[in-house]
Chains A and B, each alone.
Chain A
Amino acid sequence: MSKMDKTLLENAKSIIKERLCKSGYSHNVRADIDIAALDLGNLLQRTVEFGESNSVLVVGAKGSGKSTLINRVLEDIHNDSKNAKNLLIVKLNGYLQTDDRIALAEITRQLKLENTIGDKVFGSFAETLAFLLEALRSGDMSKSQPIIIILEEFDLFAQHKNQTLLYNLFDIAQAGTTPLAVIGITCRLDVMELLEKRVKSRFSHRQIYICNPSTLENYVQQFTDVLLLDKAFGKTAKHKAFVKKWNSHVENLTKNSSVLEILHKQFNYCKEASPLHQILFLPVCSLSQEHQEITPADIAESSQLIFNDSKANILHGVSVLELCLIIAMSHLTNIYEGEPFNFQMVYNEFLKFSQKKSHILQNYTKPVVLKAFEHLIELELLKTKDHFMTHSGKLQKEYRPMILLVDHSQLREAVAKYPGCPTDVKQWAESSIV
């Protein structure tokens, strides 16, 4: 194996890793995004070229390609339009700009107006707003620089007090003095309901919907696209040979029936791209000199890790004493038909069991058992019944009503898997009679 091949593999690995991890830069070709990009591109082009104002919402589920769409459209405008160097882009995100004051400060910053506002008090909300509004309103259609404002997590902006920011942005966009395009990006389909009436009436009601791939074929195609290398990888003969070898290997992989089965299973759970990427992530990471190709076994192993039942994992690690308490709770829930139980009842059941059946478990004092019980609460395997929370302060912890969050079948599985579980405990899990 030559050194050249090693670097090639490393290169391929980091390219694919970047595709898997970086969101908003999907390189996949998807017809629906192309159509949406055309629409949105036209709209923004008109703002940039002719100074038309506009507002639009991009709605789609998480991971459906909204950011990819925006990034692609902005890139196109940057490359094509002659007016592009004049264009100002302001990007806001509902996670970062958690209220209107911060959002305004950020807009000022991104428009590079801090210097103009420098001698004024920067903290005052009203002043900043007035200043910005004046700056934005005073422009005119032909001469002013066009501005594109992108609001990611648009629904969070709608939660700001009085929706002042949204109102003013839409108002300016509607007035049509300064060329301004407002793009909202959200995953909430009911986003229109969140807007106040006065805000809603100023919005252009243009919405672009993006969906996840709807068929299994598209989904598998997505899987292949992520892995395939393209011409940009390299130009030398060695590069080309590597790409050819790699791509044919990927084609084989997607024809493998066990891989297809895993993809089908995953598709039935969730059509989004990110779980798909997660399945691929570990196999790609483990590519190395000794292990040059992704095998179906790798995919199977990593999907196994992802489908792993986390509650079973947690149950596997509790002590025998805690497991016994869970069994007691499960029986109590069964006997009282889902009514809540308290520690005292669980302890009583546990005593019955340990005195009659299991002599190894006899030596525990009540405080020790209570500690074990509290550990289970900490692990959130059981919780306080909601409406008792309010006066739980007055109630001793032994008598606080609790409900179990472990299903009987989960428990049975956990007991079966538990390493070195005493036989009498196993029997007790099967039947409540002691």
Chain B
Amino acid sequence: MATEPTVKPTDPLTATPATLDPAQVDPAAPPATGPWKLAWRRLRRNKVALAFGVLFVLLILSALAAPLWAEHVANTTPDRNRLADQIIVDGKPRDIVSVRGIPMGPTWRGEYFLGADENGRDVMVRLLYGARNSVFIGLTAALITTVLAVLLGLLAGYFRGWIDALISRGLDVLWAFPVLLLGIALGVSLATEGLSIGPITVAGNSLWIPTLIIGFVGIVYLARPVRGQVLGLREKEFIEVARAQGMSDWRIMTRELLPNLFSTILVFFPLIMANAILLEAALSFLGAGVQAPSPSWGTMIDTGLDRLRGAPHLTIAPGVMLIMTVLSLNIFGEGVRDALDPRAKVRLEH
């Protein structure tokens, strides 16, 4: 697979679109191919990245279909406990949770497809509902990160001077913060108290608390590259022209600079989301994220670990889901990066 073309300076892939453009050689040739179209072509050639992109879409669809599976296939809800019941598997009755407290393993049938948990709940159903929480938090947190980071990066890079100084020093402080510790501390204390700032009140078990924490913590990784890029762009002729035309600062930022940042944003977004999902799992694992009884892969792993002996499926199933989701985002993100800018170097912290 070629998630990363081995680029050499002479490689046609790395040459600027202008030199690839046949129109420059021959005026009668077909019209020029835009950079977006070229990127799409490169992405389409990258079968592995596409395959993992499709896998990610399937994971999202299955999360969306969680109620369908729960209602029509598994005949249960994510929170329904069945401690003392039995079900019939292959004509034989089986305890959902044994007398010694060991939950049933996978049946590979509709009901209890991936087995039961310590309360006799259906693991598959909880995994699918957990996927909703993980994907919701990951996507929303990544959106929060992106919007705030791009805004800060634009303001700092465009206005420079004291605004830049203020934002950059703020980012320095955020960079110096032990983010994982901050996230855990905030998560735990907010989960017990809830949050109320003026008229806004957020309950302690709300999904918004981990979402906001994760979204905020990621800003620094994107704001710095955006600022750097804006600092370079603002010296270009087209910005000078826009200024000479009397465009307002806001208009220059949104209409002229922002479109030029899209490829950077597109490259970072899947990676930010992958990290957000991992961070959510870590916070939930430590009791600082999604709160019980809401299912989340992190909390499922946490409770599963006490029962590794006898019921390893409780730990392995959510872990595999988590890895598949994050891996598909990472590989697809790599593909997007290679397609948009084969020579870019992108890296995110864990």
A and B associate: no
